[in-house]
Structure 1
Amino acid sequence: MNDFLRFLERHLGTIQYGWSKDGDGNKLPFQIVKYSNGHPFSGTTTYSTLGLSNDTLISPVSGKQIRQELVFVSDSTFGDKNIPGIIQQVGLKALHNKMAYLRGDVIGPYGSLFDNSRLEALNVTVPVYFPEAFHTFFDNENTPIVMSWLVPITLEEANFVRLIGWDKFEDKLEEINPDLIDFNRKGLL
């Protein structure tokens, strides 16, 4: 097992299973994996890309090279539902555009992400539900791998981030402290 895989399993739990093909059976350039053991806390399930960081992406702001993996956290009773497909689409878009996602980026809105949910977009942020040691993986040879958390948000929240700023949105999250893994939540606004 390589160092990066050990890093992921130390922070996210043991890999339970994964997806290497899209819904049409086409092989993906990376995998989506599901972890066991309730990380970041009991009652949660975490998913991530695995291998997205094999490609170097570019920061649309600084032009800096970035290696990146995407993380998604859900309630453990939610099941897989659309989660692997959502992460696949986001990862494929990054590879297609050759652009990394930065903190505060909003992906979407694309309509309801889940049945009976007001969540329509994703906000990219640091994985604050995890220890700071998980935010970036450092090896001795390559560009560090940045772990980026995809948080489902409402249309109103997406508009707030775009108009007011991601930093003000994160201030609101700290103030209100919503359950970001509740995909039936009403939204902050």
Structure 2
Amino acid sequence: MIDGLVDHLEGTLGAIAAGWRTDPDGTPAPFQVVEFETGRIDDAVIYSTLGLSEYVLESPTADGHSHLELIMIAPEGLRGSALPFQLLDIGRLVVERRELPGLGTIIRNNRTLADLSTMDALYVGRPLYFTPEFATFSNGDRAVTIDWLLPVSQQEAAFVDANGWQAFEKLMYEREDLDPIDYNRASLLP
């Protein structure tokens, strides 16, 4: 584990309350997913990969390599659901590809998400609920990017594909009534 990473995550997200290292069928993962205690965001549960950052990923950064952890924030009603296993699946995909997903990457064909939400895909974005400093952790030896997987509709995913992540985030910011944690919200686009 990267020195200081757990303290960084717990300092913002709360104490780790539970963890998973295997799928429901017992298949082990090369990292874990953790759940944080309630209370940091009202009526929400927060999950994070932990150990995904042990893998060096190809990236367009200056040194060509990067490290990543992913978070998901969901309504409290989805605590105890299959979301940790969704995060395990996505993390495995990242490890297999050895490529850092860029901001605005759309992850489609999420069977687990389809069972829990009206949303069709996941969007790789910045963790908006937290200070900008949370999104990047560095202990002096290694830097880790922390990205948020937000549920998006099919129409929103198509908008990102056509217009880019900056246009989509601008659209989200313009909607004061948007709750990105609501897994059953109405799409921003018809």
TM-score with structure 2 setting the length: 0.91
1:71 aligned to 2:63? no
Identify which range, 91-100 or 112-121, moves more after superposition: 112-121
- Structure 1 gaps of 5+ residues are none
Partner of 1:183, secondary structure, is coil
Give a deviation string over 1:150-186, Cα, whole Å, max 9, x none. 0011111111100111111101100013111111111
Would the alpha carbon gap of residues 63 and 133 (structure 1) be closer, same or farther in structure 2, given more than 3 Å must change? Answer: closer
Partner of residue 163, structure 1: 162
Distance 1:158 1:33 in 2: 27
Q: What number of residue pairs does the alignment pair up? A: 187
Whether contact under 8 Å (1:112, 1:118) holds in the other structure is no
Would the alpha carbon gap of residues 38 and 127 (structure 1) be closer, same or farther in structure 2, given more than 3 Å must change? Answer: same
Would the alpha carbon gap of residues 31 and 185 (structure 1) be closer, same or farther in structure 2, given more than 3 Å must change? Answer: same
Write the letter of the residue equivalent to 1:167: Q
Partner of 1:80, secondary structure, is coil
After TM superposition, list the pairs within 5 Å mapping 1:61-140 onto structure 2.
64-110=64-110, 113-115=113-115, 117-140=117-140
Would the alpha carbon gap of residues 62 and 138 (structure 1) be closer, same or farther in structure 2, given more than 3 Å must change? Answer: closer
Would the alpha carbon gap of residues 28 and 175 (structure 1) be closer, same or farther in structure 2, given more than 3 Å must change? Answer: same
Whether contact under 8 Å (1:112, 1:120) holds in the other structure is no
Partner of residue 9, structure 2: 8
Write the letter of the residue equivalent to 2:100: A
Structure with greater proportional helix content: 2
Whether contact under 8 Å (2:156, 2:187) holds in the other structure is yes
Q: Post-superposition shift, 1:22?
A: 1.4
Partner of 1:89, secondary structure, is helix
Distance 1:84 1:77 in 2: 14
Identity %: 34
Give a deviation string over 1:1-52, Cα, whole Å, max 9, x none. 951111111010010001011122011100000001322x222211000000
Whether contact under 8 Å (1:119, 1:183) holds in the other structure is yes
Taking only aligned residues, the RMSD between alpha carbons, in angstroms, comes to 2.0
Q: Post-superposition shift, 1:109?
A: 4.1
Whether contact under 8 Å (1:114, 1:183) holds in the other structure is no
Q: Post-superposition shift, 1:112?
A: 7.2
Whether contact under 8 Å (1:33, 1:48) holds in the other structure is yes
Q: Post-superposition shift, 1:139?
A: 0.5
Partner of residue 174, structure 2: 175
- Structure 2 gaps of 5+ residues are none
Distance 1:62 1:90 in 2: 25
Write the letter of the residue equivalent to 1:4: L
Q: Post-superposition shift, 1:141?
A: 1.5
Would the alpha carbon gap of residues 8 and 159 (structure 1) be closer, same or farther in structure 2, given more than 3 Å must change? Answer: same
Distance 1:158 1:43 in 2: 26
Distance 1:138 1:56 in 2: 15
Q: Post-superposition shift, 1:114?
A: 4.0
